[in-house]
């Protein structure tokens, strides 16, 4: 499945893999995350709209990352180049945005490390999946 240089099956697979990673990641780090985010467990909301929003956002991220990786040129959409591209996108945009936003919101570095770690995993997984599938 290829349209305009993007492999939509790879994009969907990348978003699904990232979503599963996020559920495992925050399932494991849920208590430290809630403490760092100053959320009492009884106040935590697990509404379906949150999961839908997360998945749609990850689909958009995967689509954009596929476009970025595709711009490397013919024959360059590889597992390794996907992972490296994901790492650069994470460092340049995701980690920096999380750090700035959470500083202004008054949260500590614990929350930033947890959230940025999640987005690093997402970026690496998406890049790897997209690169693995190729164009």
- Write out pLDDT tens, residues 84-100: 999 999 999 999 999 99
The answer on pLDDT for 131 being more than 80 is: yes
Residue 1's pLDDT is what? 43
- Position 51 in a domain: yes
Q: How many domains does the chain fold into?
A: 1
Handedness of CA 103, 106, 112, 115 (dihedral sign): negative
Instruction: Work out the percent of the chain whose per-residue pLDDT is above 70.
Output: 96
Q: What residues contact residue 13 under an 8 Å CB cut-off, 6+ apart?
A: 129, 133
Residue 64, domain member (yes or no): yes
Instruction: Give 44 or 122, the one with higher predicted confidence.
Output: 122
Averaged pLDDT for residues 49-63: 97
In a domain, 12, yes or no: no
User: Cα–Cα distances in Å, from 6 out to 2, 27, 36, 37, 61?
Assistant: 6, 32, 38, 37, 13
Is pLDDT of 3 > 70? no
pLDDT at 2 over 50: no
Instruction: Enter the pTM of the model.
Output: 0.92
- Give the pLDDT of residue 4: 62
Question: Structural domain of residue 28, as residue ranges?
Answer: 2-6+19-133
Determine how many CB atoms are found less than 10 A away from the CB of residue 104: 8
Give the residue carrying structure tokens 């996020």.
Answer: 22
**For residue 106, is it within any domain?**
yes
Q: Report residue 32: phi and psi, to 5°.
A: -65, -35
d(CA 62, CA 122): 9
Q: List 115's β-bridge partners, or say none.
A: none
Kindly report the average pLDDT of the chain as a whole number.
94
**What confidence tier does 77 reach under pLDDT thresholds 50, 70, 90?**
very high
- pLDDT at site 73: 87
């Amino acid at each position: 499945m290829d349209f305009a240089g993007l492999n939509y099956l790879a994009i969907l697979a990348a978003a699904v893999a990232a979503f599963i990673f996020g559920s495992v990641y925050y399932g494991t780090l849920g208590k430290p995350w809630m403490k760092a985010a100053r959320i009492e467990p009884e106040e935590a909301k697990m509404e379906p709209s949150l999961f839908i929003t997360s998945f749609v956002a990850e689909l958009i991220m995967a689509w954009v990352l596929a476009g970025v990786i595709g711009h490397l040129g013919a024959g360059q959409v590889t597992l390794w180049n996907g992972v490296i591209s994901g790492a650069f996108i994470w460092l340049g945009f995701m980690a920096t945005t999380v750090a700035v936003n959470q500083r202004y919101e008054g949260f500590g570095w614990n929350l930033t490390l947890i959230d940025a770690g999640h987005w690093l995993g997402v970026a690496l997984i998406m890049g790897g999946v997209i690169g693995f599938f190729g164009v």
